[in-house]
Amino acid sequence: MKALMFGWEFPPHILGGLGTASYGLTRGMAEQEDLSITFVIPKPYGDEDQSFLKIIGACNVPVVWKEASYDEVERTLGGIMHPNEYYYYRDHIRYDYSRIGTNNIGCIEFSGRYPDNLLQEIDNYEAVAGVLAHSLEFDVIHSHDWLTYPAGIFAKQISGKPLVIHVHATDFDRSRGQVNPTVYSIEKRGMDIADHIICVSDLTRRTVIEKYHQDPRKVTTVHNAVDPIPNVEQFVKTPRKEKLVTFLGRITMQKGPEYFVEAAARVLQRTKNVRFVMAGSGDKMQAMIDLVAERGIADKVHFPGFLKGKQVTQMLADSDVYMMPSVSEPFGISPLEAMQVGTPSIISKQSGCAEILDHAIKTDYWDIDAMADAIYAIVEYPAIYQTLSKEGRDEVNRITWDKAGLKVRDIYNAVVYRD
């Protein structure tokens, strides 16, 4: 079976959990010998792992026919795509996209991020999907998150192939209920047209059914998993006297950073032997810096900024407690990553991963007293730390992407081979 996937991020160049989940799922699915995956992203950099799938950069697919020499194409593509592949796609342009600004070989420039003109990039990505749908052979279309739903819909309309959309989050999660009507409309249309909808948690599944009015029979939960950390044994705690409690992620209202700060203030009223780290970036960062100052704990809270790659893993390994106080978290892979290196996790009950984790402490996101009690217990009582560390590591090592991949394959089979 051949799957055409549309995504927005892919490691090592990621800005959030979407890229991590896309990588883990596709790698897990690639263990199925009769499945091949073509994964489209707006802008590849050439250092992505393509050992188990093929990556196509939307920025290298021509949407406007332009006369271009082989040398010019090769020079412009910069080794990311072979010129012969470019010419093949150029021969399959079927629509007039001259209204879209393109470069010297008829390709659209994409930022590879989430720019201010994001809606325009989504529209442009849809145009690329039209060329690919006429060019490639595939059995099923799989669109990851709302940014790629229009592309998936267009590919379905052209090819007649079934569309599966993957809901990693909804705008209800990102906005605390202050939904952007344009985004909601894109999400709703994608769900309405999709042949099946995959949700990363039962929490998200309920939102899709209740807020987007979808038939429960076409909505399936496939929980995320976590990739094994290569050479995980090298990530050990740096010796120090004080305990370390960490928040790691986007510093936005969805992630509940203020509850982390308030819990920290309460813990520091009971013990001074703890430091807190809020790693990441986001629109609430300055507000959190101000709140830390207001609570008089600025000497105990650190803001190292955005971390990536091994920096993230080492930060988690150095921590004695990892906290994810999200207000609404469709899944949340970071607690699983923390547990992989033996770090106990405290997570909000309003997170999807709470549905599958038995050896993490769960509190309501707003219950800062319960969070503070949990932090204090872990940092003050070694037996509690050791139990959560060992049992958590054992549990998360059993949550693998190949199992999630088999569930997705069952969905593919259902939509491809249905009567």
What is the reported pLDDT for 236? 84
Q: Which fold has domain 232-396?
A: Rossmann fold (3.40.50)
pLDDT at 13 over 80: yes
- The overall average pLDDT reported for the chain is 95
DSSP codes, 179-219: --HHHHHHHHHHHHH-SEEEESSHHHHHHHHHHS---GGGE
Q: Confidence class of residue 232 from pLDDT cuts 50, 70 and 90?
A: confident
- The pLDDT value given to residue 133: 98
Contact between 356 and 281 under an 8 Å Cβ cutoff? The reply is: no
Q: Is the pLDDT of residue 105 over 70?
A: yes
Q: Which of 116-125, 229-238, 272-281 has the lowest mean pLDDT?
A: 229-238
- Per-residue pLDDT of 335-381, as tens digits, reads 999 999 999 999 999 999 999 999 999 999 999 999 999 999 999 99
Q: For 375-406, how does the pLDDT look when each residue is reduced to its tens digit (9 = 90+)?
A: 999 999 999 999 999 999 999 999 999 999 99
pLDDT of residue 170: 95
* pLDDT score for 63: 98
The CATH class, in words, for 2-225+401-416 is alpha beta
Residue 419 has pLDDT above 70, yes or no: no
Domain ranges of the chain: 2-225+401-416, 232-396
Examine domains 2-225+401-416 and 232-396 and report if their fold is the same.
Answer: yes
Output 328 or 322, whichever has higher pLDDT: 322
CA distance 25 to 19: 10
- CA–CA distance, 32 with 36 (Å, rounded to integer): 9
pLDDT for residue 267: 97
> What pLDDT score does 355 carry?
97
The fraction of the chain above a pLDDT of 70, given in percent, is 100
Assign 149 a pLDDT band (cuts: 50, 70, 90). Answer: very high
pLDDT tens digits for range 50-101:
999 999 999 999 999 999 999 999 999 999 999 999 999 999 999 999 999 9
